[in-house]
Structure 1
Amino acid sequence: MQNETLVAGVGMTPFKKPGDNLPYPEMAARSVRQALQDAGVGYEAVQEVYAGYVYGDSTSGQRAVYEVGMTGVPIVNVNNNCASGSSALYLARKAIASGAADCVLAVGFEQMSPGALQSHWTDRPDPLGHFSDAIAKSFDRPDLPMVIRYFAAAGKAHMERYGTSLEAFARIRAKASRHAARNPLALFRREVTTEEVLAAAVLVPGVMTRPMACPPTCGAAATLLVSRSFAKKHGLDPAVRILAQTLVTDRPDTFEGADPIAVVGSGVSREAARQVYEAAGIGPKDVDVCELHDCFTQNELLSYEALGFCPEGEAEGFVRSDQNTYGGQVVVNPSGGLLSKGHPLGATGLAQCFELTHQLRGTAEARQVESARIAMQHNAGLGGATVVTLFGRAN
């Protein structure tokens, strides 16, 4: 038996371009204060803290959280690439579920530099070396930045295998912009058309234009989780609970066959989704709203299939029939997603939680998905770790 885990409070800063941001301790502290205020409790009630980030020195979590309070509680720094924020949430949820704590804070933040992601450690083995070697077997483009190379290869493989068109990826980007136009915290709020996305600067001919890639972004988000007993004792009435959650890493089949679609994590996402559906006793058709990891439009399309929203090979039809937006089967990334909202790596998973919490509370304003009752969060980090979480209403 596990203790029920409730989402008591969420907070998030507006996402900004590098250079237009506050320093990471200030961004993180703002999101934490918002989450505490949203929950109606003080920092002195927090028993453990998990801080997710990628680009920062050791104990950056302490540096950030100390801006809010210094109470001597455990603060654990979490780095799981782009899934760092959700990994922090995963650990916070486990602390509540196990009974080890009753009030736990997860915070994620990132102060990023302009340009493509790059390694800061060149004197030791590359943690993504196996991934790069597998990609090179079918898509040998060492001239491209690493993550563009990976997801361009995966997108190209889907196009060749299933006849997927470049327009399908452009439609996903246009949809993201329409959603972000309703989100005051998103980085890019101008709507773009499918035609504009197709006509934009080319990153990989025939496979990817610039708007199909998410931008480097700075920001922070936080979530306060509590047990049902803590909520009752302190007079809280959280509207959202975690129904099921899992963190899945790679198995040998990620690299066997050198399939780029597998290398970028579709198999891992499929397994994570299977686990949470089984644990919650529901299926993909029960999901009303989903925040998924659209670091590239190519990955969003692949994730539709991996999460079970449509059969394998049928994602383009899912897109063309508008099943991924308001009025369709499932509203995907009402926040605008990583493509439009932005992708500050350590903050992303907790920003997804922020959005879905408001959707289930019915407080998402212009972005509200009507009668949303089941929400899915999908956050993937190459290297690799994928966290999938199902949220539902608490009452």
Structure 2
Amino acid sequence: MSRNVYVTGVGMIPFAKPGASAPYDQMGAQAARQALEDADLCYGDIEQAYAGYVYGDSTSGQKALYQVGMTGIPIVNVNNNCSTGSTALYLARQAIASGAAECVLVLGFEQMSPGALASVFTDRPSPFDPFDAVTDELVGKPEIPLALRYFGGAGLSHMEKYGTPLEAFAKIRAKASRHAANNPLALFRKVVTPQEVLESPAIWPGVMTRLMACPPTCGAAAAVLVSEEFAKKRGLKADVYIAAQSMTTDRPGTFDSRDMMRVVGYDMSCEAAAKVYAQSGLGPEDLDVVELHDCFAHNELITYEALGLCPEGGADKFISEGGNTYGGKVVTNPSGGLLSKGHPLGATGLAQCFELTHQLRGSAGARQVDGARVALQHNLGLGGACVVTMYRTA
């Protein structure tokens, strides 16, 4: 990156169940206005905007942002599955770092339907065809929805390799609920115990229960990014900046390794994290707080290892010793994560940015991580793309 990029404003609305939210355009406009207000800027100051969503017609970003202003600026619509929000953030950061813009708005929103994720266009080849082919061979279970087969299969792979007990995933979900209890924007704020997670209805007996999966969610979040020069000129908040960022996509090993952990992006996560650590000169031992992609408790567990928070095969020990929560090695998903906060696909990456920005500002309230100065964000989308972002206090 040639120039420092600062997060000067963030916004996020409470996440809700499908059918209980406003339409996507109203949610998006509300989050964008919040981010602008937090930045002490108006829409007329924005030079470019990137709008991320998965389920929606073309130019839905314009539909949302036209309610905030119509200034003729470029608005780029972004769709990269569950990593959509962070992909939009990646593009916005590049625009400022390269000198193409000084002040950029990033918006993510999603209006989802109830039930498990499913393909929308069934009259053409699916981007998941190669993923399904490997999963059919390694896992089977065609009666289980595709996302559950992918990530349940990855968890089962870890269980078989390292003897990881089902209780480890239950402890992750219970931890998420304790964190979300302090987040007024989270969808689920009820605290559950590991035993309650284990006793919830089995989706895949011996592998996954219902509480180990994130819920379909509606919501929106936004951020305003600026250059250092723009921040100084306008007297804006410049207390949080992006120290490093990397985006990766699949390599042949995703399919050739015959390992469900790699099918769901383990290698992408490892590579993106390694690049960010190299760019920033920091390592996992320097992190105070992490927001990672816990679409299933199984993915949170394997991501601990992909990000280097613990050794390969060491996730169960890391969890049992409380290394993933307050008082431990690094606080993971203080927001409650996707498991409890919710997962509106296009908004998720910006919601992670919202959380980490407030953590580094020291304004996260009851969920504040003491002395947080270095934060890592991990956002994964199958098909595939992974974005890892390092934030630091200025």
Matched, 1:386 2:386: yes
**Retained in 1: the 8 A contact 2:49–2:73?**
yes
Provide Cα deviations, 1:186-216, integer angstroms capped at 9, x if missing partner.
Answer: 0000000000000110000000000000000
What residue in structure 2 maps to residue 269 of structure 1?
269
Normalising by structure 1, we get a TM-score of 0.99
Secondary structure of the 2:178 match is helix
**Retained in 2: the 8 A contact 1:231–1:237?**
yes
What residue in structure 1 maps to residue 83 of structure 2?
83
| Amino acid corresponding to residue 107 of structure 2 in structure 1 | V
**Retained in 2: the 8 A contact 1:318–1:324?**
yes
What residue in structure 1 maps to residue 113 of structure 2?
113
What residue in structure 1 maps to residue 359 of structure 2?
359
Which stretch shows the higher mean deviation, 199-208 or 134-143?
A: 134-143
Which stretch shows the higher mean deviation, 339-348 or 126-135?
A: 126-135
- Residue correspondence of structure 1 range 169-318 to structure 2 within 5 A: 169-318=169-318
Secondary structure of the 1:380 match is strand
Deviation, structure 1 residue 237: 2.8
What residue in structure 2 maps to residue 124 of structure 1?
124
Distance 2:150 2:254 in 1: 13
| Amino acid corresponding to residue 108 of structure 1 in structure 2 | G
- Identity, % of aligned positions: 65
Aligned residue pairs, count: 394
Deviation, structure 1 residue 235: 1.3
What residue in structure 1 maps to residue 324 of structure 2?
324
**Retained in 1: the 8 A contact 2:39–2:237?**
no
Distance 2:282 2:183 in 1: 29
Distance 2:214 2:96 in 1: 33
**Retained in 2: the 8 A contact 1:135–1:259?**
no
Distance 1:296 1:186 in 2: 16
Distance 1:56 1:286 in 2: 39
| Amino acid corresponding to residue 342 of structure 1 in structure 2 | G
Distance 2:237 2:176 in 1: 33
What residue in structure 1 maps to residue 145 of structure 2?
145
Deviation, structure 1 residue 3: 1.0
Distance 1:358 1:257 in 2: 39
Deviation, structure 1 residue 257: 2.6
Give the superposed CA RMSD. Answer: 0.6
Secondary structure of the 2:138 match is coil
- Residue correspondence of structure 1 range 338-357 to structure 2 within 5 A: 338-357=338-357
Matched, 1:8 2:8: yes
| Amino acid corresponding to residue 290 of structure 2 in structure 1 | C
Normalising by structure 2, we get a TM-score of 0.99
Deviation, structure 1 residue 30: 0.5
Distance 2:86 2:45 in 1: 22
What residue in structure 2 maps to residue 135 of structure 1?
135
| Amino acid corresponding to residue 199 of structure 1 in structure 2 | E
Distance 2:206 2:285 in 1: 33
- Residue correspondence of structure 1 range 16-35 to structure 2 within 5 A: 16-35=16-35
**Retained in 2: the 8 A contact 1:188–1:340?**
yes
**Retained in 1: the 8 A contact 2:10–2:224?**
yes
Which stretch shows the higher mean deviation, 125-134 or 179-188?
A: 125-134
Deviation, structure 1 residue 297: 0.2
Deviation, structure 1 residue 232: 1.0
Distance 1:331 1:136 in 2: 36
Q: Which consecutive aligned stretches of 4+ in structure 1 deviate over 3 angstroms post-superposition?
A: none
| Amino acid corresponding to residue 206 of structure 2 in structure 1 | G
Secondary structure of the 2:261 match is helix
Provide Cα deviations, 1:322-344, integer angstroms capped at 9, x if missing partner.
Answer: 00000000000000000000000
What residue in structure 2 maps to residue 368 of structure 1?
368
**Retained in 2: the 8 A contact 1:128–1:383?**
yes
